[in-house]
Chain A
Amino acid sequence: MSNTASSSPAMRTVTATSRIGDIRAFAGFGSLSFACLVFLYAPIVFLAAYSFNDGRSVSRWSGFSLRWYATVFGNENIQTAALNSVIIAVIAATASTLLALGAATATVHRRASGGGAAYAVLTFPLMVPEIVTAVASLVFFVAVGISLGFTTILLAHIVFCIPFAYLPIKARLEGLDPSLPAAAADLYASPAKAFARITLPLLVPGLLSGWLLAFIISLDDFIITALVAGPGATTLPLHIYGMLRLGMTPEVNAISTLMLGASTVLVLVSAMIGRVGQKH
């Protein structure tokens, strides 16, 4: 017994390893993890694969074709909806990033008073079930007399994008060395100048990934948009939902695949920016 206690940590690892192999491994965890990935990806892959199916049938493969993409690109309603989606997402992401940038600058590395309360308010949109946000926004817009349409979609999107833009910017700011702006101040830079010349350039990765996440969230939203859209305005998810009501068609597969591709690319770009930011 005393022998075990006095042996070096390396020795102990060896004894443990010889008894049960890699001490961290548990049988079956690996295959379960792969099953988990298959579960997450198989439906998406099937959906995408059948968008290239030549036939009308969604169950029988009858050769490769891009005809459903041609149909989708030729459809004017889809073009309008996609354009709306992009315009809304760009404006919502930009506005929410600017708001979040201000909020993050004020809350990180500054006087702590009210910081907790500010955080609670800024992340409040994440706490509320989406359907409740959706109907509450509808009721609000009707109550204050803003007619439902493009404006209401935009306003609602800016609000729920704020936490998504705020969190990466806040994380990036927290990782910054607070002595950098202090050094600038020592060299007689005004706070505004120190911010513009020192903090802001260092914040760029956080700002970009915040903007991208807000953009994706806005582009993807269905429920809130569906309730505040009113009869006139439409976005791509609303249009796809409408198409689905008429049945599962290869066009649904094609347009879904396009959206899948867009989100995946944006997520990867955002992740890459985040990693580049970390390396600095």
Chain B
Amino acid sequence: MSVRQLSFSSRISPRLTDLGLLGPAIAVILVFMVAPMAIMFVYSFLEAAPYGGVEWRFTTDAYTSILFERDFLDDSLTFTPDYLVVLARSVFQAGIATLLCLVISVPTAYYIATRPERQKNIWLVLITIPYWVNLLIRTIALLFVLRGDGPINAVLMNLGFISEPLPLSYNGFAVCLGLIYSFLPFMVLPLYSAFERFDFRLLEAAYDLYASRRTAFLRIVLPVMRPGLIAGSLLVFIPSIGSYLAPDILGGGKTLMIGNLIGTQFQSARNWPFGAALSMILLTLTLLVLLWLARRAGQQTSDCR
């Protein structure tokens, strides 16, 4: 071993080499990703310039305007829940989507994990493909089938179940379905890898001890795969809450979520500090969820030891 290490330490010190190799990637992310976040943080405490951009005067207006509206005449603040509703709607939609993804994914992932090797690979590829297929196109595809004159309504009307097209698109339902449709593979895959590692002798033992199927599943299978549940929920909840395309295309502008509100501030509304403040809130919310789940996952693993 010592000989090997000797031969490794050539003219250039390995530490320096590592720095040279790692440096560029880290620098690119620090400059183009972390620095922009810092700028956003600063901008969220500045005044909005009339045509986009900022005026360099410190103010917390961007944050207060999320909850209050400032009166133009006497400068008084009145509570306005409009933006809070958007925020609550985002959390609610993302939460429901995550829950439904979980309900769909647990049986699916379990079923895939218990298939023979060959079938398993086919299932996995089938679940993975949508994950890599263009999100915009998939959202358009969902709008296409949900539309008033789309295939679902056409079939239902031809069969005589309904006489008027069902309002499947341009509402909260469509947005929620869109979120599930967008992020379902994110839930199936981590759950699958958790089930994959499951020791089926545990299940056998449970049956030997006269557990019913239901009890065995709820008390033995589910707890073992908690890390997978947590990872999957995170992977669905985080992109859902900041989702832009699903509410934009399927909601038809009536069911705004925080992602759309942020986007608007930098496009048509041109209120950069307000958009920056909303971004900071979304980022904080996301990182808090990540931290909370990471801590819970950490506790879980230390419990197991």
Interface residues, chain A, CB within 8 Å of chain B?
4, 9, 12-13, 15-16, 19-20, 23-30, 32-33, 36-37, 39-44, 46-47, 50, 57-59, 99-100, 102-103, 105-107, 110-111, 118, 121-122, 124-125, 127-140, 142-143, 155-156, 158-159, 162, 166, 182, 185-186, 188, 190-191, 213, 216, 219-220, 222-223, 227, 237, 240-241, 244, 248, 252-253, 256, 259-260, 263-264, 266-268, 271
Contacts and interface: CB of A to CB of B under 8 A. Distances in A.
Interface of B: 3-4, 7-8, 10, 14-15, 17-26, 28-30, 32-37, 39-40, 43, 53, 104-105, 107-108, 110-112, 114, 123, 125-130, 132-138, 140-145, 147, 149-151, 154, 181, 184-185, 188, 200-201, 203-204, 207-208, 213, 217, 238-239, 241-242, 244-245, 249, 259, 262-263, 265-267, 272, 275-276, 279, 282-283, 286-287, 290
A111 B22 CA distance: 12
A100 B112 contact: no
B200 A24 contact: yes
B39 A129 contact: no
Given A26-B213, A99-B25, A139-B43, 8 more contacts: A12-B204, A23-B204, A29-B108, A44-B138, A111-B18, A129-B241, A159-B29, A219-B134
Given A136-B39, A138-B266, A191-B17, A252 B140 contact: yes
Across the A-B interface, give the 3 residue pairs with the lowest CB-CB distance, nearest first.
A129-B242, A140-B36, A136-B36
A271 B128 CA distance: 10
A175 to B, nearest CB: 16
Given A42-B145, A131-B263, A185 B21 contact: no
A45 B174 CA distance: 19
B136 A240 contact: yes
A185 B9 CA distance: 10
B25 A248 contact: no
B28 A159 contact: yes
A50 B144 contact: yes
A36 B242 contact: no
A174 B136 CA distance: 34
A127 B184 CA distance: 18
25 contacts: A24-B114, A24-B200, A24-B203, A26-B217, A32-B108, A36-B105, A44-B137, A47-B144, A58-B150, A59-B147, A59-B150, A59-B151, A127-B286, A128-B286, A130-B242, A131-B244, A133-B33, A140-B39, A155-B32, A162-B25, A220-B135, A222-B135, A240-B136, A263-B133, A267-B128
- SS of B interface (majority): helix
A219 to B, nearest CB: 8
A236 to B, nearest CB: 9
A20 B26 contact: no
Given A23-B207, A267-B128, A46 B259 contact: no
A113 B275 CA distance: 38
A43 B181 contact: yes
A36 B184 contact: yes
A107 B105 CA distance: 34
A135 B4 CA distance: 50
Contacts of A59: 147, 149-151, 154
B20 to A, nearest CB: 8
B37 A128 contact: yes
B279 A135 contact: yes
A122 B154 CA distance: 48
Contacts of B132: 213, 216, 220, 263, 266-267
A43 B296 CA distance: 37
A56 B147 CA distance: 16
B107 A4 contact: no
Contact of B25 (A33, A122, A133, A188): A122
A46 B34 contact: no
A121 B140 CA distance: 33
Given A59-B154, A140-B36, A260 B107 contact: no
A99 B24 CA distance: 6
Name, among B15, B133, B135, B242, the residue most crowded by chain A CB atoms within 10 Å (CB to CB).
Answer: B133
B15 A33 contact: no
A124 B29 contact: yes
A162 B29 contact: yes
A207 to B, nearest CB: 14
B95 to A, nearest CB: 15
A14 B135 CA distance: 48
A139 B36 contact: yes
Nearest to B221: A26
A240 B141 CA distance: 12
B4 A260 contact: no
B136 A129 contact: no
A151 to B, nearest CB: 12
A27 B174 CA distance: 30
